[in-house]
A and B are shown apart, each in its own frame.
Chain A
Amino acid sequence: DAKTTQPPSMDCAEGRAANLPCNHSTISGNEYVYWYRQIHSQGPQYIIHGLKNNETNEMASLIITEDRKSSTLILPHATLRDTAVYYCIVRVEEYSSASKIIFGSGTRLSIRP
């Protein structure tokens, strides 16, 4: 699986959009970009994933550059409950969702009132 690079920490004002960047310059054509977050002392929570098209769900939007070497997770209206460590992960999907997840150090996002 390709390696990802994320800033160690970021902060954002409550109510504003939080944009979390991730670099994955060695990503392969069959590797997906996944985002998880982990609120303090809880298990990681799946947020969103994509291959090459931009994706949106009820939690966030994922913007993947055309060359797929980087992506941005967007939380459109950040709240205090979005304070967490956010992990950007690249995984080979193949035909099984059960492949292991390799976590990096993630980005610690702090939302300020």
Chain B
Amino acid sequence: DAGVTQSPTHLIKTRGQQVTLRCSPKSGHDTVSWYQQALGQGPQFIFQYYEEEERQRGNFPDRFSGHQFPNYSSELNVNALLLGDSALYLCASSLQWYSTDTQYFGPGTRLTVL
């Protein structure tokens, strides 16, 4: 049973560029959440996708957008990259309406903006 997978593992971009990160949820899960983790801090919630729609959003600018596909996989897009966007980006999957389940995290994508 595959867990949450993310690609790529590492990514280096320059300021102003755009980046797309990918996530495949744990088998059987239908909801994907994205988190940003700056060095030395706890993860911060970006947004969540369910049924191909953004359902919840944290305090992140519109430069951060996402998408969910019919197979439940998801992409996180960041436009006009800033140095401060350098972070570990984590994807977590869960079941939307199963209250006793929890969120399972992938290994993350390390983004470095130069």
Residues on A lying within 8 angstroms of B by beta carbon are 34, 41-46, 49, 85, 87, 93-106
Q: A98-B33, A100-B56, A103-B42 are in contact. Are A45 and B105 (CB under 8 A)?
A: yes
- Nearest CB of chain A from residue B55's CB, rounded to whole Å: 8
Asked whether, in the complex, the Cβ of A97 is within 8 Å of the Cβ of B41, the reply is no
- Majority DSSP secondary structure for residues of A touching B: loop
Contacting residues, chain B, for A102 (C-beta < 8 A):
45
Asked whether, in the complex, the Cβ of A44 is within 8 Å of the Cβ of B99, the reply is no
- Is B86 an interface position by the 8 A CB rule? no
- Nearest CB of chain B from residue A16's CB, rounded to whole Å: 26
Which residue of chain A lies nearest to B95 when distances are taken between CB atoms in the complex?
A: A97
Asked whether, in the complex, the Cβ of B106 is within 8 Å of the Cβ of A43, the reply is yes
The 3 lowest CB-CB distance pairs between A and B, nearest first, are A43-B105, A103-B42, A100-B45
Asked whether, in the complex, the Cβ of B41 is within 8 Å of the Cβ of A100, the reply is no
Q: A43-B105, A43-B106 are in contact. Are A98 and B96 (CB under 8 A)?
A: yes
- Nearest CB of chain B from residue A32's CB, rounded to whole Å: 10
- Measured in the bound complex, the distance between the Cα atoms of B31 and A101 in whole Å is 14
Asked whether, in the complex, the Cβ of B95 is within 8 Å of the Cβ of A98, the reply is yes
Contacting residues, chain B, for A99 (C-beta < 8 A):
56
- Measured in the bound complex, the distance between the Cα atoms of B101 and A96 in whole Å is 9
- Measured in the bound complex, the distance between the Cα atoms of B98 and A25 in whole Å is 27
- Measured in the bound complex, the distance between the Cα atoms of B108 and A97 in whole Å is 21
Which residue of chain B lies nearest to A48 when distances are taken between CB atoms in the complex?
A: B102
Asked whether, in the complex, the Cβ of A97 is within 8 Å of the Cβ of B102, the reply is yes
Contacting residues, chain B, for A104 (C-beta < 8 A):
42
- Is B72 an interface position by the 8 A CB rule? no
Q: Which of A41, A44, A85, A103 has the most CB of B within 10 A?
A: A44
Identify which of A34, A93, A103 contacts B43 (C-beta below 8 A): A103
